Amino acid sequence: MSCTVALAIPNSPAFQSTRLPSIFCKPSPSSSIIHGPQSPAPSSSLSLPPSSLSSFSPGLSSPKSPLSLRVNKTKLESKTDKLLKRKRPGILDIPVAGVLGFGLETPKGKKEKVEVVEVEGDGYFVCSKRGRRGGILEDRYSVFVDVNGYSKQALFGVFDGHGGPKAAEFAAENLNKNIMDEVSSRCQEGTETAIRNGYLTTDEEFLKQNVNGGACCVTALIHQGNLVVSNTGDCRAVMSRGGVAEALTSDHQPSRKDEKDRIEALGGYVDCCHGVWRIQGSLAVTRGIGDGHLKRWVIAEPETKVLKIKPECEFLILASDGLWDKVTNQEAVDVAHPSCVGVDKLDPLSACKKLVELSLSRGSVDDTSVMIIQLDRFVP
């Protein structure tokens, strides 16, 4: 399996970016969401804290946040230089509106292989590791922080691909933007409907690609002191409230009675093979992005929960089923808590890595991705 980290960097100073609308329905300065990945050299383990991104790409700087890109001056040299005496172009600053979107680009060669991705950000931390099952890493994630200059506004996502990484990649690149577009147009009202539409739009757009595969998703929107968590499939969100695990999502699996009833009412069937419940004898989840051949039953409509972030709300864990198949909700909180709460030097990234390794030590062969979000960082 091979995989490379894709950092959204334009290949030309003449890059034209997409405007990200303000979710507060106010005009904002020009902003950009940059996609157009540029693959770094492969390695067996990548650590990409935003503070070190300048070493990852010589043209990347962070005067205000890790989300500001600078395209360095480029010499325009050619055989005509001697005659035209062209001057070097000035430095072009491209604001990214506080957007930090990382993911993994589908590898193009067998020699490119990434086993582990680790990221340490401002209030969020990620560890993603390829499973022993073989093939390529199909998990992806995305982060939008400080959107349009609002430091307490953020949107996070973890995506678990199946049948290939394409659906997870597409969701990581498009779902957050589609959600933000919907939230912006509603001006503080109908957040749940906005997120639902964002999921459905992303699904429709992916199906038009005529690409196989699908992806389970879990997203967390932090807005005006509220936490809005949504999911399709078996990616899960678990919050630590005073050290007690609180599941904020419910897995969409064929064994769930309401999901089983819905599928059968639509003419499908659910059966159990080797201890695993599946739709049409195939897929082990009932909701997600993609899966066009099962779209009649595998819907992209998320379930959403909204709650106010209170002082006892300590941190949020978003993770793929590679973790939850082997580690209980409370175990995950117990492992992470000592590194995330009540210590002089917080180390949530270490907690992410411990959770991934715990799952692997218990026999998981699946890709495993864990994101920890320090909720107090985003409280107004």
Range name among 45-59, 265-279, 343-357 with the lowest pLDDT average: 45-59
Question: Is residue 238 scored above 50 in pLDDT?
Answer: yes
Helix axes 191-207, 166-186, angle to 10 degrees: 140
> pTM above the 0.85 mark?
no
What pLDDT, on a 0 to 100 scale, did the predictor assign at position 188? 60
pLDDT > 70? residue 251: yes
Q: What confidence tens digit (pLDDT) does each residue in 138-147 have?
A: 999 999 988 7
User: Which residue shows structure tokens 């292989």?
Assistant: 113
The stretches of the chain forming alpha helices (DSSP H) are 53-56, 81-84, 166-186, 191-207, 257-265, 321-324, 329-340, 348-361
Question: What is the pLDDT, as a whole number, of residue 215?
Answer: 97
User: What pLDDT shows up at residue 104?
Assistant: 55
Select the more confidently predicted residue: 103 or 313: 313
Contact 231, 317 (CB under 8 A): no
Over residues 287-309, mean pLDDT: 96
pLDDT digits (tens, 9 = 90+) for 194-232: 999 999 999 999 999 999 999 999 999 998 889 999 999
Stretch among 98-112, 251-265, 266-280 having the lowest mean pLDDT: 98-112
pLDDT category at 28 given cuts 50, 70, 90 is: very low
Q: How many residues are there in the chain?
A: 380
The model's confidence at residue 156, banded by pLDDT at 50, 70 and 90, is very high
**Mean pLDDT computed over 268-288:** 93
| Residue 349 clears pLDDT 50, i.e. is over it | yes
As a whole number, mean pLDDT of residues 22-43 equals 36
Residue owning tokens 């695993």: 276
Measured between alpha carbons, how far is 6 from 105 in angstroms, rounded to an integer? 5
| Structural domains of the chain, with CATH | 4-72+91-250+300-375 (3.60.40.10)
Q: What is the pLDDT of residue 103?
A: 58
Q: What is the pLDDT of residue 187?
A: 62
| Calculated CA dihedral for residues 219, 223, 226, 230, nearest 10 degrees | -20
**Distance (Å, whole) CA 222 – CA 124:** 12
What is the arithmetic mean of pLDDT over 138-163?
91
Phi, psi of 175 (to 5 degrees): -65, -45
- Whether 133 has a pLDDT exceeding 90, the answer reads no
Residue pLDDT, tens place only, 102-129: 455 544 444 466 789 999 999 999 999 9
pLDDT of residue 68: 35
Average pLDDT, the chain: 77
Tokens of 275: 């201890």
- Angle, nearest 10°, between helix axes 348-361 and 329-340? 150
Q: What's the confidence (pLDDT) of residue 344?
A: 87
